[in-house]
Structure 1
Amino acid sequence: MQDRNVKLPRSQRLPLELLPAFEAAARRLSFTEAGAELFLSQSAVSRQIQQLEAALGTPLFERRHRSLVLTEAGAVMQRAVNDSLERLNDAAARVRTATPMRQVAITCTAGFASLWLIPRLARFTASHPQVDVRISATSEMLDLERSHIDVAVRFVAASVGVGPQLFEEEVQPMCSPALLRDPRRPLKTPADMVHHTLLAVEMPGGEALTVDWEPWFRLMGLEGVQMAQSMRFTQYADAVGAAVAGQGIVIGRLPLLADLVKEGRLVAPFRGAAFSRRGYFVTLSKRAEANADARDFRDWLVAEAEQARAKAAGAAAPAKASTALPRPAARTSRARPRSA
């Protein structure tokens, strides 16, 4: 048996340029019809078949009066050619479907993803249907290059943020309308919160559950306030869900919760919102700077944030104006991101 890895001399190789004429003639059993299909004359097809037969050393057709019949060798060749064409078509189909989609990978906190990004994401995918968006929702500060991340939304101290700022965060207590209307535990003043459940997110490093409340507590002069009980969550979105269900009071982060306030699922029982001195900043990885889809996604985020800021004005009803804490001077140390 001939070793398939041995390269045949050029003189013994199958003349592939003659196979289209053979395939058409074998399928139609007519040199004339094959020629019409291939835009060749009948005599040109006949010559190509003769050349192929000479190369193979055997006739492929029986030339009968006004008809053609495949010889046994011709039938073998026809099966081989058809099989090869099918395999080529299958391979072409796989290559087409295997072409990778354009992708943008983003990292952000779980709260930002579930409460702000995902409800808006359909607007980006509608205008970029060919782009696959992959979201890594985590409070960890991922290394963008090592993690193959294109876009990062960092939740850090406003004084140390890098890249365009989407928005600076404001905080104030929020609860469900049903809880606000509960006659057994009125919420007429901030001091009334001592009779309610604190919905809090567990913080890394053993920080107090009320650490996210501190800017607002300071604004209201309520340092050291103790609520009746607490309910702990590992994700901010879960704490928000418990507040919507009427299970307690959560520190509301604007504009993350602006849509829930607008829909009437959450209300702010007291006037006054405090700047948390933290913000959301968007940055690209070095490798994504040449990725037009990643740049489009960043620009889309900035545009969406501008719209959200405009809509967020007055969203924390009944408060019509926010009382902000003094903004700190710029610091050089990096702040650890919170779990939002």
Structure 2
Amino acid sequence: MRLENVKPSGAMNGELPPLELLRSFEAAARRLSFTLAAGELHLTQSAVSRQIQQLEASLGVLLFERRHRALSLTEAGGVLQRAVTDSLERLRDATARVRASAAPRQVAITTTPGFASLWLIPRLVRFTGSHPQVDVRVSATLDVLDLERSRIDLAVRFVPIDRGVGAALFEESVVPLCAPQLAAALHAPSDLSGLTLLTIEYPDHSEAPTTDWEPWLKVMGLADLRMKSTLRFTQYADAVAAAVAGQGVVIGRLPLLQDLVRDGRLVAPLGEGAASRRGYFVEMSKRAGSNRDAQDFAQWLRDEAEAARRT
């Protein structure tokens, strides 16, 4: 094909050639081979050759010198290659930025059902109010999930103090709590024997109905305490709800239940609590290192815990 035989056909007066022609040209100009360009673009060699001819015809100029088993760019081809390469790179960068900005912002957290329902969820509106674009996914479970495998940003772990990993939120203290109408029957720990025990049923402690009471019972020297009757629950929040309804006495985990004590729905007639030597810790996953919203969420948890200690 000689230059004088190439006639402009259509793409005149500033009209841009179709993008697929420019992509084929960029690949052929970079590889200096229609065959290699075709393999890269998943086209046939003849399709790429036709697209280049169509582009040359639309521009009215040759872009390649076609030699025996070799290609080279003409002067016009070199000018177009620089412009097309720069333009496609800018398009790729802009597309990546647009996709990144359109990606949903999310924080995934795992924690115990008790912490989620009694401490986290009542406060969560303060985080979502200051971060309205962020979706928060809460996995409330007693299972210890692998953060990386489960694609979770952070965990609030409830563990013994000497096994804590990450930033400490607060240490737990425990004390019997009940509704105000039951408080008159409780003057000493021995009075518990006349009331209903509200407790959690753990699958691995089915024969020990006071497992969640053990830290307090140990401190008080009441390991053999027996109460009038027992109501067992699979979720701590349900046992707390039963206590608020006046159905018995629950072991209160503070500060999880501090708001219920503060507003008078639950009272501690037997005095202050005992340290359980357990606490809540914030553990961050590796993926949270690239999630600014997860880092903000972890800081928000620490700020909320500090504010709760001051009240």
The TM-score with structure 2 as length reference comes to 0.68
User: Structure 1 residues 102, 179: closer, same or farther in 2, change over 3 A?
Assistant: same
| Residues 287-306 of structure 1 aligned to structure 2 (within 5 Å) | 287-306=287-306
Counterpart of 1:196 in structure 2 is: 195
Amino acid at match of 2:213: W
Q: What is the CA RMSD across the aligned residues, in angstroms?
A: 2.5
Residue 206 of structure 1: CA displacement?
2.1
Cα distance change on mapping 1:128 and 1:12 into 2, 3 Å: same
The alignment partner of 2:272 has SS state of: coil
Q: CA deviation at 1:204?
A: 3.0
Alpha-carbon distance, 1:198 to partner: 0.6
Aligned to 2:211: 211
Corresponding residue for 1:73?
none
- Distance in 2 between the 1:277 and 1:105 partners? 28
**Aligned counterpart for 2:171 among listed residues 168, 173, 195:** 168
Counterpart of 1:308 in structure 2 is 308
Q: Which shows bigger deviation, 148-157 or 200-209?
A: 200-209
Counterpart for residue 120 of structure 1: 123
Give, in whole Å, the separation in 2 of the partners of 1:200 and 1:15.
Answer: 82
Task: Assess if the C-alpha contact under 8 Å between 2:175 and 2:252 holds in 1.
Answer: yes
Equivalent position of 1:152 in the other structure? 155
Distance 1:105 1:13 in 2: 54
**Following the alignment from structure 1 to structure 2, what is the Cα–Cα distance between the partners of residues 106 and 310?**
25
In structure 2, give the amino acid aligned to 1:309.
R
Q: What is the Cα deviation at residue 17 of structure 1?
A: 6.0
With over 3 angstroms needed to count, the CA separation of the structure-2 counterparts of 1:15 and 1:280, relative to structure 1, is farther
Contact 2:217-2:223 within 8 A present in 1 as well = yes
Q: Any idea what the Cα deviations from partners look like across 1:234-284, whole Å, max 9, x if unmatched?
A: 100000000000000000000000000011100001013111111100011
CA distance in structure 2 between the aligned counterparts of 1:109 and 1:256, rounded to whole angstroms: 12
**Aligned ranges 1:87-106 → 2 under 5 Å:** 99-106=102-109
Letter in 2 for 1:299: Q
SS at match of 1:159: helix
SS, match of residue 139 in structure 2? strand
Distance 2:199 2:9 in 1: 80
Q: Secondary structure at the match of 2:231?
A: strand
Q: Which amino acid aligns with 2:170?
A: F
| TM-superposed deviation, 1:189 | 1.1
Gaps of 5+ in 1: 1-8, 20-54, 56-94, 312-340
Give the Cα separation in 2 of the matches to 1:10 and 1:250: 90
Matches of 1:273 and 1:15, distance apart in 2: 85
CA offsets per residue over residues 140-172 of structure 1, 9 Å max, x none?
Answer: 000101111001000011100100110010000
Within-5 A mapping of 1:1-340: 99-181=102-184, 186-206=185-205, 208-311=208-311
SS of the equivalent of 2:163 reads coil
| Alpha carbons of structure 1 residues 228 and 292: separation in structure 2 relative to 1, 3 Å | same
CA shift digits 1:99-152 (9 cap, x unpaired): 332100000011101100011111111111111111001010001011110010
Deviations, residues 280-332 of structure 1 (Å, cap 9, x unaligned)? 00011001112111111101101111111222xxxxxxxxxxxxxxxxxxxxx
- Report the Cα offset of residue 221 of structure 1: 1.9
Structure 2: stretches of 5+ with no match in the other structure? 1-5, 17-57, 59-97
Q: What are the superposed Cα offsets for residues 182-205 of structure 1, whole Å, 9 maximum, x if unpaired?
A: xxxx21111111111110111131
What's the offset of the Cα at 1:10? Answer: 10
Which residue identity lines up with residue 269 of structure 1 in the other structure? Answer: P
User: What is the Cα deviation at residue 223 of structure 1?
Assistant: 1.4
Structure 1 residue runs of 4+, over 4 Å off? 9-19
Residue aligned with 2:181, SS: helix
Tell me the SS of whatever aligns to 1:230.
strand
User: How much has 1:12 moved relative to structure 2?
Assistant: 5.8
Q: Give the aligned residue type for 1:190.
A: P
Q: 1:103 is matched by which residue type in structure 2?
A: Q
- Name the amino acid aligned to 1:203: Y
Separation in 2, partners of 1:209, 1:10? 92
Instruction: Report the Cα distance in structure 2 between the residues aligned to 1:188 and 1:308, rounded to whole angstroms.
Output: 29
Q: Which amino acid aligns with 1:307?
A: A
Q: Which structure: greater helix fraction?
A: 2
Residues 111/15 of structure 1: CA separation in 2 closer, same or farther (3 Å cut)? farther
Aligned residues, how many? 226
Secondary structure at the aligned position of 2:137 is classed as strand
